[in-house]
Structure 1
Amino acid sequence: MERRVRPGLMVAVLCFAGAVSSYSQSVILLPIVGRLDEYLDTSADNAAWVITATLLVAAVALPTGGRLADLFGKRRVILVALGSLLLGSVIAALSDSLAPLIVGRALQGATLVVIPVGVSLLRDLLPPERVPGAIATMGAALGLGGAVGLPPAAWIPQQFDWHMLFWVSSVLAALALLAVHTQIPESARRSPGTVDVVGIIGLTIGLVCLLLVISKGRVWGWGDPETIVTGVVGAVTLIAWAAYELRRASPLVNLRLAARPTVLVTNLVSVLIGFTLLGMLLVSPWLMQVEMDQTVLSAGLWVAPAGFAMLVMSPVSARLVTAFGARSTLRGGTAVMGLGYLFVIVWMDSPWQVMVGVTITFAGLGVAYAAMVGLIMASVPLGETAAANGLNSLMRSIGTSTASAVIIAVLAASTVTLTTDGGMRTVPSRSAFELVYVIGAIAAVVGVALITAIPRVSSASADPSEESSPTPTSGSRR
């Protein structure tokens, strides 16, 4: 059945789906993460698997879902991802013990593929002149789901049982699923090839081992045999996987394409952008609670304007890309993210000052995101945009995972003991928070330096016939 393309509605629906995905991934558990062991009657180390499970599934889903979207249809993959989010949310909402909650959160992890595949779907369906603005708006979904989602995520467990967080996520997932199913057409563009099952298995083993080392190394001990063996297994598996992929006619990840200078450097910059994004989002509410006596809810409200700043900067980003090019826009946006960190380093004595710093950082992200995705999509064949965007999102996810591990290690290394009405409490010191902001600023500076190595992209780079010609299918179907 043919479906009429309505650009504005399509962008709105996919942005909503992306925001729901971002909310479910990044902030839904932040307000209660410190009490999961109490809620689930387990140890803190065991409760941490609720977070780790989502991270591991998301890491595998990003490149795999991107490739499947190129092969079988982008709308179809988005629907499957939202269905996984809905099922996972319901399982989590019904759980009262560790195992089912881990299963629910693992299923939720697959939904991270919605934004990169959604961007690729918009490129297929929209008129070329509307693509930059649509990509920028999709990028704003990251901020809306993260920063704007934090206050309600903090308020819900104060007023209701913690399970209500997941019931709300279930409703949002159902609405997003219905909206995509009824309002978004399928792209007729397909990439030739087959499913690389061995590649999926190899990448899964390698990424899981790598991310386990990043997320669990501090708990296990960096020199512990368990950490070392896991890291070695991950490294060896990824090397063998890369050798296998290079011999495949239809690989899961086109490594030759990923090695192109523009794609390679942009993906490295994506790691640093992911690091700076999560660093600011994770540590700033924590700082306000420790240093400024803010509740989880009030700290979330102070952070919320950052999400709207990212939304406001989205159309600006599209105009900057048109006027100055994606490379210069990415460099400017990344520099602005660093300025947000510098602002908080100098002024971090009151919540409004932290809010300004967070807002500057998210405004910079709003500018950088569209440019970053634009560089990737201008450098790969049209039939491989979803896979390329999935890989770029994976690199950003590795950056956020690394940021989480670094931040926790830094804050745990320098603490002070406070006397409160509830007794003695150990919290990170002010100098520890300052060091985290310094590290974030350095990451942004390194990102700006790397961007200078990105070659200027010509229009020829985006030739859809290059290396991989898409295989059209029959008309758009429901």
Structure 2
Amino acid sequence: MSQTQTTPPQTPERHRSATRNGLIVAALLWAVQLVSLVAALSGVTQAAIAIHFQTTQIAWFTLMTLLTGTFFLPFLVKAAALYGKRRVLLIATGLGFVGDLVAAMATDYRTLLIGRGIAGIYTAATPLGYAITRDVFPRRWVGLANGIMAGGVGLVAFGGPFLSGWLLDTHGFRGVLWFMAISTALSFALVALLVPESPVRERGGRMDWAGGILLGGGVTLIIYGVGEGSDWGWGSGRFIGFMAGAVVALVAFLLVERRVAEPLFPVSMTRRRPVWSALLATAVAAGALNAVGVVIQLLVLMPKIPHVSDGLGWSGEHNAIVTSPISAMIIVGAVGTGSVARRMDSRILLALGVALAVVGYGIGTQYHSTAGQIISWGVVAGLGTGVVVAVVPIMVIEVVSPEEQALANGAQNLVLGVAQIIVSQLAYVVMAQHGMVLKGTQFYLDKGFTNGIWLVIGCCTLGGLLVALVPKAERLDDAEVGRAA
């Protein structure tokens, strides 16, 4: 087993001014929240990109980022522990900028996907940013810094749609892609100039290359196979071969992880029922809700073409105005959950959030043709989404010890990302069953959008039902100091 070794930072924490600490928080806030902002920008631009490049494979515009981000995350987190968190954050940010630059200049869809895939490496900025705060700030600043960074989600929830709408309406999808590149370059500069290196290192640690490659390979086979299954045929030899290969890779991964001293995925920890059940329930519920955006964004932004496309044809700005009340309810749900989590069973909170989301989206399957209709059920679904998003980390905190927290967070991010990718890919497949290809572009009819929402409802409901497997855990009020909501 590796040991943690701490060396004195170049600038001692106690001698750093409040202004300097504030600048570090600002740099990390931008690095962390840029991941969410880019995800929002991607969702708004996918309809315009599909039409411009005349592609039936628009699913991969968002899935490539998710896939590479999920694949490389364990490697980057481990490298950060071995070689320095700031150093790895700069590498991830630099590669993210390269990917954004390739995507912004792409003249064909394949090159665009290559750029998006490279840019997906930047998603590691979120766990790395939070990890740095624990290492470089004085104790009294750690809670404040994490609170500010987490609270930035409100700015993204409100400002993101308006920013992306303005960029899309004024400068087209190219303007959005260039904004991503400029923002990532700014993040690199802020981290390089303001953020100190973490003094915490693992001594004698090793990278689990075999485990990471097997896990990434297995997930990739599943995602690609599901994405192409409707074209190949669900009973075809190619589809069955991809699924069989995925099973072999994942079984081999589990066997490898049980034997290595420092696994990327904590198999021994996840064998405990409280841990695996909490990870499973939260991943399915939150992964489904994270995936619903692919359906809703295509519904509101795809054009209205009789007998070809039943999109609403909204502008980016109109979409931002209509969805702002929904964003507000997501924040209300998240903040409210953080306030009551110390007094309520987290399992009840997750079930409540799922129920609200299912009711909201259930109404949405029948009524989604006007702004008023979408707002009416969207605020209910948004409230439920906020509850689910906030309770996910709380449930993980409750079932592991402080020493296991970092591994548990990594495992939770990994399984949630896999769930989101699978549900998103299935949503595209389901929608395409009731769609039409015109001039090389995949369009969707109303039945396709409706079935896509039903898919999300089904997966989210499954996550809610899986709560029954989670045993009653320690209340957050009784947890050790530092394990906060």
**TM-score clears 0.5:** yes
Alignment counterpart, residue 209 of structure 1, candidates 221, 225, 249: 221
Alignment partner for residue 82 of structure 1, among 75, 93, 101? 93
Alignment equivalent of 1:295, drawn from 287, 311, 314? 314
For the structure 1 residues 249 and 416, does the alpha-carbon distance in structure 2 shift closer, same or farther, using more than 3 Å as the test? closer
1:1-400 to structure 2, matched below 5 A, reads 1=10, 2-3=12-13, 4=16, 13-25=27-39, 27-28=41-42, 30-33=44-47, 35-36=49-50, 38-39=52-53, 44-45=56-57, 49-122=60-133, 134=146, 138=150, 141=153, 145=156, 148-160=159-171, 162-184=173-195, 187-190=198-201, 193-288=205-300, 290=304, 293-297=312-316, 298-345=318-365, 347-382=367-402, 384-400=404-420
Number of the residue aligned with 1:473: none
Alpha carbons 1:191, 1:383 under 8 Å: kept: no
Partners in 2 of 1:311 and 1:296 — Cα distance?
24
Q: 2:177 is matched by which residue type in structure 1?
A: F
Q: Find the aligned partners of 1:318 and 1:136 in 2 and give their Cα distance.
A: 14
Residue-by-residue CA offset, 1:407-454 (whole Å, 9 max, x unaligned): 22332333599xxxx99x996444443343333333333222222322
| Displacement after TM superposition at 1:38 (Å) | 4.3
* Residues in 2 aligned to 1:376 and 1:120: alpha-carbon distance in whole angstroms: 17
Which shows bigger deviation, 127-136 or 145-154?
A: 127-136
Cα shift at 1:248:
0.9
Task: Specify the SS of the correspondent of 1:348.
Answer: coil
Asked whether the equivalents of residues 68 and 120 of structure 2 are also in contact (C-alpha less than 8 Å), the reply is yes
1:458 and 2:474 are equivalent in the alignment:
yes
Q: Does the 8 Å contact 1:139/1:369 carry over to 2? A: no
> How far 1:253 sits from its partner (Å)?
1.2
* Partner Cα distance (2:17, 2:380) in 1: 35
In 1, the alpha carbon distance for the partners of 2:134 and 2:473 equals: 17
Does the 8 A contact of 1:10 with 1:183 survive in 2? yes
Distance 1:265 1:127, change over 3 A: farther
Q: State how far apart, in whole Å, the 1-side matches of 2:373 and 2:410 are.
A: 35
Q: Does the 8 Å CA contact 1:156/1:165 hold for their aligned counterparts? A: yes
Amino acid at match of 2:173: W
Does residue 436 (structure 1) correspond to residue 447 (structure 2)? The answer is: no
Counterparts of 2:22 and 2:344, CA distance in 1: 25
CA contact (8 A) 1:65 1:387 kept: no
How has the CA–CA distance of structure 1 residues 259 and 184 changed in structure 2, closer, same or farther, with 3 Å as cutoff? farther
Partner letter of residue 213 of structure 1? Answer: G
Alignment partners' CA distance in 2, 1:15 and 1:107: 22
**1:296-350: CA deviations, max 9, x gaps?**
4223432244334333444322212222254433333333322321342464352
Alignment TM-score, normalising by the size of structure 1:
0.80
1:344-373 CA distance string (max 9 Å, x none): 246435212213433333333322223211
Structure 2 CA distance for aligned equivalents of residues 20 and 347 of structure 1? 33
Does the Cα contact within 8 Å between 2:214 and 2:253 map onto a contact in 1? yes
TM-score by length of 2: 0.79
Q: Distance in 1 between matches of 2:233 and 2:385?
A: 34
- 1:70/1:271 CA distance change after superposition, 3 Å: same
Structure 1 SS opposite 2:342: helix
Which range moved further: 189-198 or 83-92? 189-198
Amino acid at match of 1:250: E
| 228-237 vs 433-442, greater mean Cα deviation | 433-442
In the superposition, relative to structure 1, how do residues 206 and 288 fare at CA in structure 2: closer, same or farther (>3 Å)? Answer: closer
> By how many angstroms is 1:169 displaced?
0.7
CA–CA distance in 2 between the matches of 1:119 and 1:214? Answer: 33
Percent of aligned pairs with the same residue? 23
State the distance in 1 between where 2:289 and 2:232 align: 26
Q: Is the 8 A contact 1:82 1:177 kept in 2?
A: yes
Q: Distance in 1 between matches of 2:364 and 2:55?
A: 35
1:60 shift after superposition: 0.5
Report how many aligned residue pairs link the two structures.
455
Deviation at 1:170, TM superposition (A): 1.7
- Where structure 1 has 5 or more consecutive residues not aligned to the other structure, the ranges are 465-478
Deviations along 1:358-401, one digit per CA (max 9) or x if unpaired, are: 33333333222232112323444545544432332222222222
CA deviations 1:161-208 (Å, max 9, x no partner) are 533222201222233334444555555555563211222222222222
- Taking the aligned partners of 1:331 and 1:133, their CA distance within structure 2 comes to 30
Report the more deviating stretch, 394-403 or 143-152: 143-152
Question: Distance between the aligned counterparts of 1:287 and 1:115, measured in 2?
Answer: 29
Counterpart of 1:295 in structure 2: which amino acid?
A: W
1:414/1:429 contact within 8 Å kept: yes
Note the residue ranges of structure 2 that are not aligned, 5 or more in a row: 1-9, 305-309
